[in-house]
Structure 1
Amino acid sequence: MKVSAAGVSVSIDGTPILDGVTLTAAAGSVTGLIGPNGSGKSTLLRCLYRIIRPQQGAVLIGEHDVWQVPARRAGLLRAVVAQDQELDNDYTVRDIVAMGRIPHQRLLERESATDRAVVDEALARVGIEWAQTRRFATLSGGERQRVLLARALAQGAPVLLLDEPTNHLDIGAQLELLDLIRDLGLTTIAALHDLDHAIAYCDAVVLLQHGRVVAAGEPAAVLTPQHLADVFGVRAAVTTHPLTGRPHLVFAAAAAVLLAEEHAS
């Protein structure tokens, strides 16, 4: 299902955070939101999943304005894996994944056989079924992210929204999680800190700076040396990763490159 934002603007305590942001994420694609700290990535995601209401503009999933439909309906349209989610650490893994079924249940309705089957499938799909009776607090960071992703899958929504999904994970867990997300086939929008992940795993990226869209489109067309110099203040080159064959970014501080060029001359 397609996701679109049109002219989204947000100010918090009088400070503009987003200024007329427009984007489109094609059905089934993976779109990365990238930009420096404070560029508006997380705020834009929160507009998409109904935490921060835009002062201007609209956010659509399919033909549905997410701020005009009931909360339960919105829960059937998109699932969320947010940063630093606070959960009762006494919950078991299965308890947490089962929370994804809440939008499908009436008030005080008990878990059905269908709910249990969906939870089983979600646990298996992310490879965490072995831990379903474990307490959430006993898991590693990578395992916790898999549990939260399984909860999102159990929700059965066509759109997945992720805020820095690889934050605090070691490199192995990062790559495993990104491979898993890439293979889900859902319309996915993720705020990403690592630009190399964005160019390697995303179908499209949206580059933000000071709450505005600098560029949007295919990663290679957006993550150009000029854009990276203008927005991040670094020198960069796009190469091919020697192990995966995917596009790969190589960075250097602009000052270091200038010094090397002076020495070479």
Structure 2
Amino acid sequence: MRVTATGVSVSIDGAPILDEVSLTAAPGCITGLVGPNGSGKSTLLRCLYRIIRPQQGAVLIGDDDVWQVPARRAGQLRAVMAQDQELDNDYSVRDIVAMGRIPHQRLLERESSADRAIVDEALARIGIEWAQDRRFATLSGGERQRVLLARALAQDAPVLLLDEPTNHLDVGAQLELLDLIRELRLTTVAALHDLDHAVAYCDAVALLDQGRIVAAGEPVAVLTPERLAEVFGVRAAMTTHSLTGRPHLVFATGTSRPSSERYAHSEHANRAQ
């Protein structure tokens, strides 16, 4: 299912964060949101999953405006893995994955046999069924992210929204999680910090800077050395990874763009949020 943002603008405490941003995420593809700290990528993602309401513009999943439909319908349209999600660590892994079925249940309705089957399938598909009776608090960071991905899968939504899904994970857990996400082939929009992950795993990227999309399209066409120098203030080269054969970015410091210019908007946006 297609995700479309049109003319989205957001200001927080009078500070502009997004300025008429438009984005299209194609069905079944992974679209990465990349940019410096404070560029607006997480704010845009929060507009997509109904945390921050735009002052202007519209957000559609398929033909549904996510800000006009009931919350239950929005939950059926998109699943979310957000940063720093607050969960009761005393819940079991299975309990947390089963929360993904809530948008499909009526108020006070008990879990059905169909719900249980979907939860079983999600646990098995993500490879976390062995931990279903464990308390969430006892898992490692990578295992917790797998549980949250299984919950998103159990939600049975056509769209997956991810905010820095590899944050705080070691390199092995990062790659395992990204491989799992790619295998799902859901329409996915992900705010990503690691540009090399964006190049290797995304079908398309949108590069944000100072609240605007400066380029969008295939990763190798968007994340050029010239743009990375301008937006991030780094030298970069696009190569081919010797192990995977995928495009691979390498970086070095040293451009003519002043650091004060690069970080002024970032600091302003961070204070606003």
Q: Settle same-fold status: TM greater than 0.5.
A: yes
Does residue 117 of structure 1 match 2:102? no
Does residue 224 of structure 1 match 2:224? yes
> What secondary structure does 1:108 align onto?
coil
Shift of 1:57: 0.2
Q: Deviations over 1:127-180 (max 9, x none)?
A: 000000000000000000000000000000000000000000000000000000
Give the equivalent residue in structure 2 for 1:154.
154
Does residue 96 of structure 1 match 2:96? yes
Identity percentage over the alignment? Answer: 84
Task: Find the aligned partners of 1:245 and 1:255 in 2 and give their Cα distance.
Answer: 28
Give the equivalent residue in structure 1 for 2:175.
175
> What secondary structure does 2:97 align onto?
helix
Shift of 1:216: 0.3
> What secondary structure does 2:185 align onto?
coil
Shift of 1:254: 1.3
Task: Find the aligned partners of 1:23 and 1:224 in 2 and give their Cα distance.
Answer: 20
Residues 229, 255 of structure 2: 8 Å contact kept? no
Per the normalisation by structure 1, the TM-score is 0.96
Give the equivalent residue in structure 1 for 2:260.
none
> What secondary structure does 1:90 align onto?
coil
> What secondary structure does 1:245 align onto?
coil
Give the equivalent residue in structure 2 for 1:30.
30
Q: How many matched pairs?
A: 256
> What secondary structure does 1:183 align onto?
helix
Residues 30, 204 of structure 2: 8 Å contact kept? yes
| Deviation beyond 2 Å, 4+ runs, structure 1 | none
Task: Find the aligned partners of 1:114 and 1:6 in 2 and give their Cα distance.
Answer: 37
Amino acid at match of 1:21: V
Task: Find the aligned partners of 1:153 and 1:255 in 2 and give their Cα distance.
Answer: 43
Give the equivalent residue in structure 1 for 2:64.
64
> What secondary structure does 2:184 align onto?
coil
Alignment of 1:1-265 (within 5 A): 1-254=1-254
Structure 1 spans left out of the alignment, 5+ residues: 257-265
Structure 2 spans left out of the alignment, 5+ residues: 257-273
Shift of 1:93: 0.2
Amino acid at match of 2:95: D
